[in-house]
Structure 1
Amino acid sequence: MTLYSNKRSRPQIVVIGGGTGLPVILKAFRRQNADITAVVTVADDGGSSGIIRDYINVVPPGDIRNVLVALSNLPEIYQKIFQYRFNSKDQFFSGHAIGNLIIAALSEMNGDGIFNAVQELSKMMKIDGHIYPVANEPLILHAVFKDGTELAGEAEITAADKTIDHVWVSSAENKQPRAVPEVIDAIMHADQIVLGPGSLFTSILPNLMISNVGQALCQTNAEVVYICNIMTQKGETEHFTDADHVQVLHQHLQKNFIDTVLVNTEPVPRNYLDHQKYDEYLYQVKHDFNGLRSQGCRVISDNFLELRDHGAFHNGSQVVDELMRLTSRPLSWIENEFN
């Protein structure tokens, strides 16, 4: 790893993921002096995204919509309109977010996939940075469970409530998917790459299992930082420690490629969580710092917890403050950490 030497005034940071955790980090990054590129999964097949994907064969727009809003500099009213979801009583539009329909329409208008549509929308929504769908076509997530059975489709995999062994992705034509060149270029020229927070098997790994993305992550000179989840997740990471999360990532790419892990050490108060509302939550992730260090990872542990609405989330501002400190520390400081 060639470590960041503070030559650029705006560090180039690539954040890779999907789901609800990615926008939290991106929104906090928007207030920092950094050149941000968000790389977003295209393997979602649930909810409004899944319905749109099935009807017009477009990349699922939900995660992309949330990222666009997180990085948008438009007035709040326009962001709210973009996020508005039609009432369930509106049979024709039931459950669809306006932003999902706009993304799907632009993709169809362009006729050349989701990538150019998102670049046009980025200009319209005054994005300071870059938003790249990881691929220009919808991808299918596959999982092999510990009992040897297999399933395809993110929603089906999550609903199976079985322990996952490993995952991979394919295109609709069952070809090996490739990331768009802009994604690979961003990874190779980044100062820092951030993975997470987000579902390990269904938000983070679908991006990494695209062969040229995984290869780029193993070859980049950037510091690769993993933000470990606060809670274990039903059907994905039950009883996992923080070291178990990292081990799964390393096993999938067959290399110890993660340099630094951010770990929350603040306890979640008993009886605070609403397990009906957040039914994927199980237990707080346990710590295994020796296990992390044995995989070559530097560990940064702190209170990164934000409690709201009876759920446990990462405090985006505190996480991003730490990430920015990592980019600005002198090379000698980081070298001393490893020696």
Structure 2
Amino acid sequence: MTGSAKAAEYRPRIVVIGGGTGLSVMLRGLKEKPVDITAIVTVADDGGSSGRLRSELSMVPPGDIRNVLTALADTEPLLGKMLEYRFKRGRGLAGHSLGNLILAAMQEITGDFVTGVRELSRVLAVRGRVLPASGTAIVLRAEMEDGTVVVGESKIPLAGGKIRRVSIEPADVAPLPDALEAIRMSDAILIGPGSLYTSILPNLLVPGITKAIAESDALKIFICNVMTQPGETDNYTVSDHLDAVKEHVGQDLFDYVIVNNGEIPEQVQSKYAEKGAKAVHLDLDEVTRKGYKVIADRLVLFRTYLRHDARKLSQHIYQLVESWMFKKR
């Protein structure tokens, strides 16, 4: 095989770090591109079905892992709905997601959560790898501006205060070696979208994760949320998001920031305002002054909720990665 043929076959290695619905939406678009995806997912969830399984079975909370597996799986729509199905009745069963229960079963069958995820990925024909940031569940703590401390990922957005800083326990939790290796071998690293303090930062606070990102010569991109999140990022601008990351990890990590600059219909804004959310303002001058390059486009779709336009977002990501790799050759 010629060198040019090998080059044509090469698939850029992209590591995506985060958690929550926003990450899953993006991955549904990105998996359609000719790229090799590794998703590194938060293990701080302590609410709902994930929290119950975490407590009762001493396992890594499976909810965010399940969402990402479903997003990357090459499955029939009915199977995806089945994995997401949440039981409404049954003593001890109500509230549980079937996908979470399957992951719990896979841990029992294989003897290890990470192995269970890998085997389920094979069954679901997942396009890429899905890894927890750590093989151990972590507890998230938030220090609020008034000095109070809120313990628990699910409780932090409900506290109603302004977050000064989040931290994890145990602080010296071991990162998953496969996650560090994926970062080291990557061509591009994407962080976000997702809840800033409860989905994104918990990954970056796992010892070794940020160091591996900083030392990598990969392209580093921050995908900013479309809307602020009540109890986490009230009134935050794009630069506020970036500042929060820098304050927690101690350095600038990103080369590019991808943001939405499309108009959001007034009726949609009103619907979100009722819950205390509004569009994240792009303070372009401040973001560029801090040294970030900005890709801004209309990147939203509205159905029941506002979501990133996965197709357009993935196209911007792929073009950036291709251009970055071309310059490195």
**Contact 2:269/2:279, CA 8 A, preserved across alignment:** no
- Call closer, same or farther: CA 1:332–1:97 in 2, change over 3 Å: closer
**Contact 2:38/2:128, CA 8 A, preserved across alignment:** yes
Shift of 1:77: 2.4
Aligned AA (2:181)? D
Shift of 1:27: 0.9
Which residue of structure 2 lines up, in the alignment, with residue 329 of structure 1?
323
| Deviation sequence 1:22-46 (CA, Å, 0-9, x none) | 1111111121100000111110011
Which residue of structure 2 lines up, in the alignment, with residue 127 of structure 1?
126
Q: Within 5 Å, which residues of 2 pair with 1:185-334? A: 185-273=181-269, 275=271, 282-309=277-304, 311-329=305-323
Q: How many Å separate the matches in 1 of 2:206 and 2:242?
A: 18
2:56 matched to 1:60? no
For structure 1, the 5+ residue unaligned runs are 1-5, 335-339
**Contact 2:36/2:128, CA 8 A, preserved across alignment:** yes
Shift of 1:8: 6.9
Q: How many Å separate the matches in 1 of 2:294 and 2:312?
A: 16
Which residue of structure 2 lines up, in the alignment, with residue 337 of structure 1?
none
Shift of 1:321: 0.4
Which residue of structure 1 lines up, in the alignment, with residue 143 of structure 2?
144
Q: How many Å separate the matches in 2 of 1:271 and 1:70?
A: 29
| Deviation sequence 1:39-85 (CA, Å, 0-9, x none) | 11110011111111111111111111111111111222222222221
Which residue of structure 2 lines up, in the alignment, with residue 98 of structure 1?
98
For structure 2, the 5+ residue unaligned runs are 1-6
Shift of 1:110: 3.1
Shift of 1:175: 5.4
Q: How many Å separate the matches in 1 of 2:167 and 2:9?
A: 36
* SS of corresponding position for 1:240: coil
Shift of 1:271: 2.0
Aligned AA (2:201)? L
* SS of corresponding position for 2:17: strand
Shift of 1:128: 2.0
Q: How many Å separate the matches in 1 of 2:236 and 2:292?
A: 17
Instruction: Please report the TM-score for the alignment, with normalisation by the length of structure 1.
Output: 0.90
Q: How many Å separate the matches in 2 of 1:103 and 1:294?
A: 45
Shift of 1:150: 0.9
**Contact 1:256/1:295, CA 8 A, preserved across alignment:** no
Q: How many Å separate the matches in 2 of 1:92 and 1:27?
A: 32
Aligned AA (2:316)? E
More helix as a share of residues: 2
- Call closer, same or farther: CA 1:221–1:84 in 2, change over 3 Å: same
Aligned residue pair count: 323
Shift of 1:281: 5.1
**Contact 2:133/2:176, CA 8 A, preserved across alignment:** yes
2:110 matched to 1:110? yes
Instruction: Please report the TM-score for the alignment, with normalisation by the length of structure 2.
Output: 0.93
Aligned AA (1:145)? M
Q: How many Å separate the matches in 2 of 1:323 and 1:279?
A: 32
Q: How many Å separate the matches in 1 of 2:263 and 2:227?
A: 11
- Call closer, same or farther: CA 1:31–1:281 in 2, change over 3 Å: farther
* SS of corresponding position for 1:194: strand
What is the aligned-residue RMSD (CA, Å)? 2.0
* SS of corresponding position for 1:127: coil
* SS of corresponding position for 1:268: coil
Which residue of structure 1 lines up, in the alignment, with residue 158 of structure 2?
159
| Deviation sequence 1:105-148 (CA, Å, 0-9, x none) | 22133333x21111111111111211111111111111111111
**Contact 1:256/1:296, CA 8 A, preserved across alignment:** no
* SS of corresponding position for 2:246: helix
- Call closer, same or farther: CA 1:86–1:254 in 2, change over 3 Å: same
Shift of 1:314: 0.7
**Contact 1:28/1:320, CA 8 A, preserved across alignment:** yes
Aligned AA (1:83)? E
| Deviation sequence 1:175-216 (CA, Å, 0-9, x none) | 511211110111111111111111100010000001200111
Q: How many Å separate the matches in 2 of 1:47 and 1:92?
A: 12
Q: How many Å separate the matches in 1 of 2:315 and 2:67?
A: 22
Q: How many Å separate the matches in 1 of 2:230 and 2:214?
A: 29
